[in-house]
């Protein structure tokens, strides 16, 4: 399987470059400089349109509030866009889908190979275990994370909701407090834990009477997200307009993950 790397250095415009993820992307691009070059960075005070113009693709790890401006600049210059930022509301998500009719976009809650395999395993486990198992998602992140639940926990919730023919908006339960009564079968718990410097942990819990299954992913470095975002940018170049996610980039959609010989 191709690892998705370009043969000549891809010119990347990086939004959110001074943040934790932005720094990780810059470090990975420096280390793989024959493949990736960060040619412009976008901060709070930069002129987006000017920066976007000079790249082959744009990668964004900033805040959801900037997405509308990024979409407009990428549409104007017909540039592919990788959105790693999480925490978008319904309107912001709709704007991303609308822009994807004109430009290719990878919008992914998580760029790691491990988490995208977790997405696949979650879908399969929900199908195999069936409706007698209660579904809960628990995520744990560092104290500086601003949005909750994490984009990855949200995606896991969406996958579980889809597998059970439930609605993400109506059937997700964020935490419990007070006299909440017995747990109904048709709900999916999604819980956010915050503390310290935890890069990211996600547990999907399938609990029945007498047994439970737990699928756990632990990230110990942001590098796995950064390299995945760079590969997604390379994968997008030359692709037709559309809304893609990391499962598309890795070829994990609707099929068993291939055995990977190279990370």
Q: Looking at the annotation, which residues are catalytic?
A: 141, 145
Q: For residues 77 and 155, which CB has a smaller minimum distance to ligand NAD in the complex?
A: 155
Least distance between ligand NAD and beta carbon 184 (Å) = 30
On the 0-12 / 13-18 / 19+ scale of CB atoms within 10 A, 55 is buried
Residue 56 DSSP code: S
Indicate whether 132 belongs to the interface with ligand NAD (CB under 6 A).
Answer: no
Tell me the chain's radius of gyration from C-alpha atoms: 19
Least distance between ligand NAD and beta carbon 222 (Å) = 6
Indicate whether 116 belongs to the interface with ligand NAD (CB under 6 A).
Answer: no
> Who's near 130: CB < 8 A, 6+ residues apart?
none
Of the candidate residues 12, 14, 21, 163, the single one contacting ligand NAD (CB under 6 A): 21
In whole angstroms, give the CA distance from residue 83 to residue 35. Answer: 20
Least distance between ligand NAD and beta carbon 231 (Å) = 12
* In contact, 80 and 242? CB cutoff 8 Å: no
Indicate whether 63 belongs to the interface with ligand NAD (CB under 6 A).
Answer: yes
Indicate whether 244 belongs to the interface with ligand NAD (CB under 6 A).
Answer: no
Name which of residues 41 to 60 contact ligand NAD (CB under 6 A): 42-44
In whole angstroms, give the CA distance from residue 80 to residue 67. Answer: 14
For the four alpha carbons of 167, 169, 113 and 221, in that order, the dihedral sign comes to: negative
Part of the chain binding ligand NAD (CB under 6 A), chosen from 2-10, 50-58, 109-117, 168-176: 109-117
> Who's near 262: CB < 8 A, 6+ residues apart?
3
Indicate whether 61 belongs to the interface with ligand NAD (CB under 6 A).
Answer: yes
In whole angstroms, give the CA distance from residue 202 to residue 205. Answer: 10
Q: For residues 60 and 136, which CB has a smaller minimum distance to ligand NAD in the complex?
A: 60
Indicate whether 19 belongs to the interface with ligand NAD (CB under 6 A).
Answer: yes
Name which of residues 65 to 84 contact ligand NAD (CB under 6 A): 65-66, 84
Q: Where are the beta strands (DSSP E) in the chain?
A: 10-15, 36-42, 57-60, 81-83, 104-107, 134-141, 172-173, 188-194, 200-208, 211-219, 242-244
Indicate whether 167 belongs to the interface with ligand NAD (CB under 6 A).
Answer: no
Token couple for 209? 């009477």
Part of the chain binding ligand NAD (CB under 6 A), chosen from 12-20, 72-80, 92-100, 159-167: 12-20
Residues that bind ligand NAD (CB under 6 A): 15-16, 18-22, 42-44, 61-63, 65-66, 84-87, 108-111, 147, 151, 225
């Amino acid at each position: 399987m191709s690892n998705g790397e370009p043969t000549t250095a891809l010119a990347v415009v990086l939004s959110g470059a001074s943040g934790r993820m932005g720094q990780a992307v810059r470090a990975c691009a420096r280390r793989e400089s024959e493949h990736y070059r960060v040619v412009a960075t976008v901060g709070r005070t930069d002129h987006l349109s000017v920066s976007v113009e000079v790249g082959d693709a744009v990668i964004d790890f900033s805040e959801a509030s900037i997405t509308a401006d990024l979409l407009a600049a990428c549409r104007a210059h017909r540039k592919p866009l990788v959105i790693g930022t999480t925490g978008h509301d319904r309107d912001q998500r709709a704007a991303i889908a609308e822009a994807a009719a004109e430009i290719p976009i990878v919008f992914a809650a998580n760029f790691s190979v491990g988490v995208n395999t977790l997405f696949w395993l979650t879908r399969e486990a929900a199908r195999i275990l069936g409706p007698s198992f209660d579904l809960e998602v628990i995520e744990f992140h560092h104290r500086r994370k601003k949005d909750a639940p994490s984009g990855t926990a949200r995606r896991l919730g969406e996958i579980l909701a889809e597998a059970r023919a439930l609605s993400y908006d109506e059937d997700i339960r964020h935490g419990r407090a007070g006299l909440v009564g017995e747990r109904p079968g048709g709900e999916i718990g999604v819980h956010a834990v915050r503390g310290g410097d935890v890069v990211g942990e996600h547990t999907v819990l399938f609990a029945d009477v007498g047994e439970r299954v737990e699928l756990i992913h632990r990230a110990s470095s942001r590098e796995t997200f950064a390299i995945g975002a760079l590969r997604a940018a390379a994968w997008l170049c030359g692709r037709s307009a559309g809304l893609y996610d990391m499962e598309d980039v890795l070829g994990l959609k609707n099929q068993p993950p291939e055995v990977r010989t190279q990370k």
